[in-house]
Structure 1
């Protein structure tokens, strides 16, 4: 016996155990000296169930420095200790069991375990030697008693216990024969409160332990990548067990609640039953919360928060998104392929040729002459060291609900567990600043393919969205935050896209052909320091991606040119790139080479307006202007790699006089059109918008509701959607036009109907509060809806330059 004590003591010291549970001690009396010979000085507190003769016996020991523990239940087969963690005051119960071998004593064993139940709101661990298997796979020869398994499963179900996955050896007992029988008789069970993920107080400690379990050496980027890989494996194993049982837990809770409700119909429930019912409803609510957060992440609806039981809505949006983005085939005719590998090969081949190959710019330019009239702001502030406060602000300013990245960790993880990961993020950013970070391990992206047209059959018919690892995105966010402070001083006033404080429009095309050498030269010419340009080079040259085809990764491409949609720096760099084109036009206009167009009686002459990669060029009908414009466009193409999309370019005349449009269009290799036309979603013509133009706006609002399956939304969800989306669509038009009264009334009717009934024709449209009152601010008793009647007038009064 003493030799076994030494073995146990050595094992506990080797693993720095804080709590130990021992079964079959065979000790009928244990004094402090005896326990010290087993648990050592670290485990200075203990409690025990004496053995009966030389059979049985249970001991639980713990560290008094870490836990306050007291015995709550002692039985023939079990010992329960209620612990309170000294570090965070978390209270939980540990029950250690030693189950009987005799089948006729197992019912009394199960009854005793039921008596140990601490209550549904208290985390509970029950572990030890059950002398029973819970599953046929718990025995190696398939020879088991079916009744024992049924009793064990009933115990788990009745007490709502879960068995987390274990590591190491699968079996815990053997008969030691030549052809041994192996069985798993020892089990570790927990209740749902113990396993509740981020909603549980102890989950952060679990995350911290997993995050720091393995030390790594290297630069900050390498250490972070290795930690994420190791941590992801542990978390994935745990999550498979925890969330895989959500449906079963929901069904069990609903079944129990239904039984209580049936009992309540025939009699009054006891105080304990009322408490049990309330506890089960609370637990059911927590499960619904977890489920809703999951489906919200799947749906990625950024304008609607979880809550108000919008799970059905998120479920419908997620499934709708999956159906819309599904790629059944690619190609046409004899070249059509429908298998996963074939589709992936076609996308990989196409985009490797597009941005996976180098193409140096053909033309050179004198940057000093080009930017002679430009103001050169002081950019030294871009190169100062990153502060901890700046890094934290960058992390917490990013959206938490974006699509998952290749490493599987959205920004929510870094924000939620900032105290755990912050030192690794600080090290990464410091190494990046000093040029020590090797970004090859973290600069990965998954490319999501979004169809740009109905029934696409070619890789070019898809828009690429790069889902970049969050760790790399933190670095991009730091640089983007700094660049956004000076970008206004670097670009022409006709550039409006992506710049805060100007009318923002969305871009429709990827920036796949921007030449990197051109970009680096441009940054140096605009006054960016050597350190900043080096940072950008390290990000671009280490960028790699895989394609997501119907939810699966395939293919591989390394970038050699282009800017990735999804990188926070890309829109700002693209604006700098196309500002070169704007400068070329302005220099030609100011030197008299281009004549431009006079805007009414304002005295303002313009030749172009630029919104990201959408360009509106204005010229007189003369052929000389046309030749100069064509020359500038071709020169810019050879300079930057950006090519005019002839298929989507058109030429139109605002004059009633005869203009040789076909001839001019052939010169520019584009098609012709006529007014009115739609530019950036807005009707453009020489007159005020027609009634059918306003009908287009109204139809756009109505169709948006149908797409978003509003019937699934609660009142709270509809309120959020109304404020964030339905008011934004007409607001965009009101940046240009003053809406007629009849249009405002139509839009307000749609908004009212949607608020009160979700546009479900079977729901009554009873207005409980007047619309005027709802448009008041919240501090005045309203709900803060946008008043369309006053917004457009305010916009025209406060904005001097409406162009």
Structure 2
């Protein structure tokens, strides 16, 4: 066997071969990843050997076969559960009998430079660093594009991102200073009484974070009345422009809930009914197995109306929603009914009683109402 140093031409050939081998290896990994996704899309929802093998493999990876307890390996499930429960119980156990008081002497504050940095506009370089710092191989967003695509065509997206962040800064952060200044002035003249921190610390009246505002003060009728005065119609004309918002009217939607509307009127529930129908139209029930439809009913359909179910729902609305759920379970479309082979009362029983474990919406409503006493 010849043993010598490679010549310059041979070094170039070696580098080219290693580069080509690396590219082929990367293409093979991409091909295998794509094949796995295609197979899961075509066979993952079926009650097949592939599906059960995939689930059992994940179950084996997530299982805890044993623990080292007092220096010895233990594989008994009861002992593992007991040790795990005791470990986390110690972690979350309150150890302090009395908590220390907040000492506000020499209260640290941000310097003017740091404070101005927090409220200054986003620079193009700052936005680019944030975008390029995101994992590009994650699931795509609603538009179908992931961050790898955005980074590759950054020249096309840069102006859009800069415009979005500039608009957010102008309407969501900087103009809150007007609201903050108004409350601070009200506290100085005694109109609004904030909360005095211990040990002669500063007086706290409000906190502003992102698009939220938290008012802090004495719990008294006069304080509440003065807050209402500050936010009254007289002040709105001056504050609306400074806060970057517009004056609304009742009813309006807040966190998915209709505020100020008569919820006894069935038409005011059209929003949640339309949400049900929209999801069902996208899912295409006829392309899913019965197992896939049951999972979607449990995981998504039952969670959609939770906000609304915290208040009493008319029986007619519950019947309409459950009618949509029944049609979806048995493979029907929006305007097509199919044979319901099992009564809904049997389907909604727990699994150990022969049902599918799907909750009845009226029971969910009553459970959430019980929390209110």
Q: TM tier, shorter chain?
A: 0.3 to 0.5
Task: Select the structure that is richer in strand.
Answer: 1
Larger radius of gyration: 1
State the TM-score, normalized to the length of structure 1.
0.25
Task: Select the structure that is richer in helix.
Answer: 2
State the TM-score, normalized to the length of structure 2.
0.48
